[in-house]
């Protein structure tokens, strides 16, 4: 039987790392999850990743020919193949992740941040197929973004362009892990939503089931559930989050003129709680020439495999 041509897609998160074999059509043939254990050196994680890859290959019924390795990871520099000062990984100032991977697999390796990987995945395997100008926003613990212009991912001069999460909402605002104040991700993210709830609990007198939950224990899923049940604090938190996000997306539209903006990640699972008001605020703040011309859409990639698909798409996109 002829071997299936695949690439290895690896998504490294602060808590969990996902990996899998993905063919040119976006079919995930096998995948696995393992704890990132971000306090360990990077080489330890890479070793465990390739142990898992070997196990997947041994147990797969079809022979696989691996064409390359694509990796999505926070704070990645695509041009250098490095990870630089990652907030949730104790890897130090700069780690040559591509070099560590090539010690195990002498194949093409592409490294970029998770939002850029999501953008390429959306273009090859998701809702942006056929589009040449779009933005992907990842809404998780923080806010990441991948910008595609004229069919190409925007990397910028240093290989790390597209950090919309660290554009400023308020220079005297919330402290961000990057060291600045008032970054967009401190307001529009799962963490930002919970921080907004804590502010509103102090500002508003309405009864709320969220009053019995400490900020440290509060999750975006709890806020979503409360909002769906009509909780006034939770609903106000989504509205305030959407206002900030819509405002900054309107700015992004003025910079790049995209056909669509895709919201991706855990907070995007809130559906219309987030999409409806964000779309309304985006249109309100947008330069009139763009109104009605930019779609706000959920990711079109297969749920449960999107992170691996995005990482794998990096290599398939380079191979053409």
Same domain for 314 and 290: no
Residues 54 and 117 in one domain: yes
Mean pLDDT of 2-31: 92
Q: Looking at the structure, do residues 247 and 100 belong to the same domain, yes or no?
A: no
- The arithmetic mean of pLDDT across residues 241-248, rounded, is 98
Tell whether the model's pLDDT for residue 129 goes beyond 80: yes
State the pLDDT at residue 176.
Answer: 93
The pLDDT of 49-69, averaged and rounded, is: 92
Specify whether 50 is located in the same domain as 105: yes
Instruction: Give 3-state DSSP helix, strand, coil % of the chain, rounded to 5.
Output: 40, 25, 35
Mean pLDDT of 300-311: 89
- For 206, the 3-state DSSP assignment is coil
Helix (H) / strand (E) containing 193: helix 190-203
16, 91, 136, 259, 301 from 264: Cα distances, Å: 17, 26, 7, 16, 9
Q: Which residues contact 43 (CB under 8 A, 6 or more apart)?
A: 100
pLDDT at residue 120 is higher than 80: yes
Residue 53: pLDDT over 90: yes
What contacts 275, CB < 8 A, 6 or more positions away? Answer: 263, 268, 296, 298
Q: Does residue 72 register a pLDDT over 80?
A: yes
Range name among 58-67, 83-92, 177-186, 226-235 with the lowest pLDDT average: 83-92
Q: Is the predicted pLDDT of residue 2 greater than 80, yes or no? A: no
**For residue 298, what are the β-bridge partners?**
263
Q: What is the pLDDT of residue 302?
A: 83
Report pLDDT for 89. 86
Whether the pLDDT of residue 51 is over 90: the answer is: yes
CATH number at residue 77: 3.30.420.40
Q: Give, in order, the Cα–Cα distances in Å from 287 to each of 1, 260, 274.
A: 57, 15, 21
The reply to whether 155 and 285 lie within a common domain is: yes
DSSP run (H or E) holding 146: strand 143-149
Query: What pLDDT digit, counting tens, does each position of 20-31 carry?
Result: 999 999 999 999
Q: How far apart are CA 318 and CA 202, in angstroms?
A: 51
State how far the Cα of 160 lies from the Cα of 166, in Å rounded to an integer: 12
User: How would residue 105 be classed by pLDDT, with cut points 50, 70 and 90?
Assistant: confident
Return all residues near 141 (Cβ < 8 A) that are at least 6 apart: 14, 88, 189, 190, 191
| Average pLDDT over every residue of 132-140 | 95
Question: Would you say residue 234 has pLDDT above 90?
Answer: yes
Q: Are residues 92 and 193 in the same domain?
A: no
Q: Check whether residue 261 and residue 160 sit in a common domain.
A: yes
Mean of per-residue pLDDT scores for the chain = 94
Note whether 15 and 70 are same-domain residues.
yes
Q: Could you give the percent of the chain with pLDDT greater than 70?
A: 100
Say what the pLDDT of residue 21 is. 97
CA–CA separation, 278 and 7 (whole Å): 36
pLDDT at residue 45 is higher than 90: yes
Q: Quick one: pLDDT band at residue 1, thresholds 50, 70, 90?
A: low
Cβ atoms of residues 71 and 121 within 8 Å: no
The reply to whether 109 and 184 lie within a common domain is no
Question: Quick one: 146 and 258 in the same domain?
Answer: yes
Instruction: Tell me, yes or no, whether 108 and 250 share the same domain.
Output: no
Domains of the chain: total = 2
Q: Is residue 26 domain-shared with residue 114, that is, in the same domain?
A: yes
Range of the domain at 282: 130-298
């Amino acid at each position: 039987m002829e071997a299936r041509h695949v690439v290895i897609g690896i998504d490294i998160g602060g808590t969990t790392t996902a990996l899998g074999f993905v063919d040119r059509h976006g079919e995930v043939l096998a995948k696995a999850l393992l704890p990132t254990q971000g306090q360990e050196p990077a080489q330890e994680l890479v070793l465990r990743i390739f142990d898992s890859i070997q196990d997947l290959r041994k147990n797969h019924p079809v022979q696989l020919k691996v064409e390359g390795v694509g990796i999505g990871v926070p704070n990645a520099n695509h041009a250098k193949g490095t990870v630089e000062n990652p907030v949730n990984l104790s890897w130090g100032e700069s780690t040559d992740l591509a070099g560590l991977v090539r010690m195990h697999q002498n194949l093409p390796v592409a490294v970029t941040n998770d939002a850029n990987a999501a953008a390429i995945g959306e273009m090859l395997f998701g809702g942006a197929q056929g589009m040449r100008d779009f933005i992907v926003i990842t809404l998780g613990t923080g806010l990441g973004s991948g910008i595609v212009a004229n069919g190409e991912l925007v990397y910028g001069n240093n290989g790390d362009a597209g950090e919309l999460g660290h554009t400023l909402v308020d220079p005297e605002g919330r402290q961000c892990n990057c060291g600045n104040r008032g970054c967009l991700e401190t307001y529009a993210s799962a963490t930002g939503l919970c921080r907004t709830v804590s502010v509103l609990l102090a500002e508003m007198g309405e009864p709320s089931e969220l009053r019995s939950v400490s900020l440290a224990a509060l999750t975006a899923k709890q806020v979503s559930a409360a909002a769906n049940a009509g909780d006034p604090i939770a609903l106000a938190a989504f509205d305030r989050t959407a206002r900030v996000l819509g405002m900054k997306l309107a700015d992004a539209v003025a910079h790049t003129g995209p056909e669509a903006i895709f919201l991706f990640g855990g907070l995007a699972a809130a559906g219309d709680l987030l999409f409806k008001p964000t779309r309304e605020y985006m249109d309100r703040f947008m330069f009139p020439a763009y109104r009605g011309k930019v779609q706000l859409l959920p990711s079109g990639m297969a749920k449960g495999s999107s992170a691996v698909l995005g990482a794998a798409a990096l290599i398939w996109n380079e191979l053409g």
